[in-house]
Amino acid sequence: MEAPRRAANRQKQRSRRFWLIVAVVVFVVLIVVIVPTAVILSGRHSSKGLASSLILPLYIYPVNDAWQPLWNALNTTSDLNYTIIVNPESGPGNTSLPNDDYLPAIQRLNTFPNVRTVGYVRTGYGTRNISDVLRDVETFSGWADSNQGIQMHGIFFDEAPYQYSAEIAQYMQRANDAVRDASGIQGDKTIIHNPGVIPDEGLALNTTDITVVFEQSFEEYRSLENDLTSLSGDRSQYSFMVHSVPAKKNLQNFVDNLSRHAEYLFVTTSSSNYYEKFGARWREFTQAVPT
């Protein structure tokens, strides 16, 4: 009986080795197939930058398929957070609610869990009548009262002043306070100032969440890079918006470098009307922002 038992043991060992080899092969196949597929579906490239968000001045009228590149990006980069600036008419417009083109588009934006919508308000570098500024904030706040899913989650103050005076600081503080006190502005009530340059220190109000410290061309960025990368605040306080990026520039490396100094990024190769269209490398940019 010893011989048959040894033969049976050898058969069991061969069987175990066979299934072990099968398991290893299956595992390798799964790694080879599933991991690249996941990367493709997420739209992500390998990045050496710091986790960031995409900030988008969306000044494109939502007619026909004008926003389709945005819908595509939101569906393929669900791991990327977007702060989207809603600007129907250089602000909310003169009516209490957006028109029939904007209303469903904003409703759709607010259905994405990775989207924060903020309303556009112009300050004219502190020269616009403060009553008009506060009225625009109030209008955006009122959108929430309609219960139509078009609520804003903050305000983007464009043309924010960058030269300090006590009067200007008080002006911007009143604007910030209006957002904080607005019952219809939802969530964390994000307040963004856009002077487009590094503002005087006295305008770094503690009620401002994000400051756009750069909104210029790629060439201007290169000339100011030392100043921008030497800012003393945390990167979560800053946004860089760079247009006219050379078509052959390595976008991934450039975005990675920006992300080390600012958390909120916008980059486009367009050199004109850059907020009124999606640039030629829009999709590549959305994939390059590190998460």
Residue 106 confidence (pLDDT) = 98
Nearest to 159 by CA among 266, 78, 87: 87
Q: How does pLDDT run across 232-246, given as a tens digit for each residue?
A: 999 999 999 999 999
Nearest to 160 by CA among 108, 111, 112, 209: 209
Burial call 135-144: b when 16+ CB within 10 Å, e when fewer: bbbebbbbbb
Residue 148 confidence (pLDDT) = 97
Residue 45 confidence (pLDDT) = 59
Compute how many other C-beta atoms are within 10 angstroms of the C-beta atom of residue 226. Answer: 8
Residue 266 confidence (pLDDT) = 98
Q: What's the mean pLDDT when you consider all of the chain?
A: 90
Task: Give every residue of the chain whose pLDDT is below 70, as ranges.
Answer: 1-45
Residue 158 confidence (pLDDT) = 98
Nearest to 270 by CA among 262, 279, 261: 279
Nearest to 199 by CA among 229, 163, 223, 226: 163
- Residue 242 near residue 274, CB atoms below 8 Å: no
Residue 47 confidence (pLDDT) = 75
Tokens for 245, please give them. Answer: 């990026």
Q: How does pLDDT run across 177-202, given as a tens digit for each residue?
A: 999 999 999 999 999 999 999 999 99
Q: Distance (Å, rounded) from C-alpha 135 to C-alpha 255? A: 36
- Residue 189 near residue 179, CB atoms below 8 Å: yes
State pTM to two decimals: 0.85
Q: How does pLDDT run across 221-273, given as a tens digit for each residue?
A: 999 999 999 999 999 999 999 999 999 999 999 999 999 999 999 999 999 99
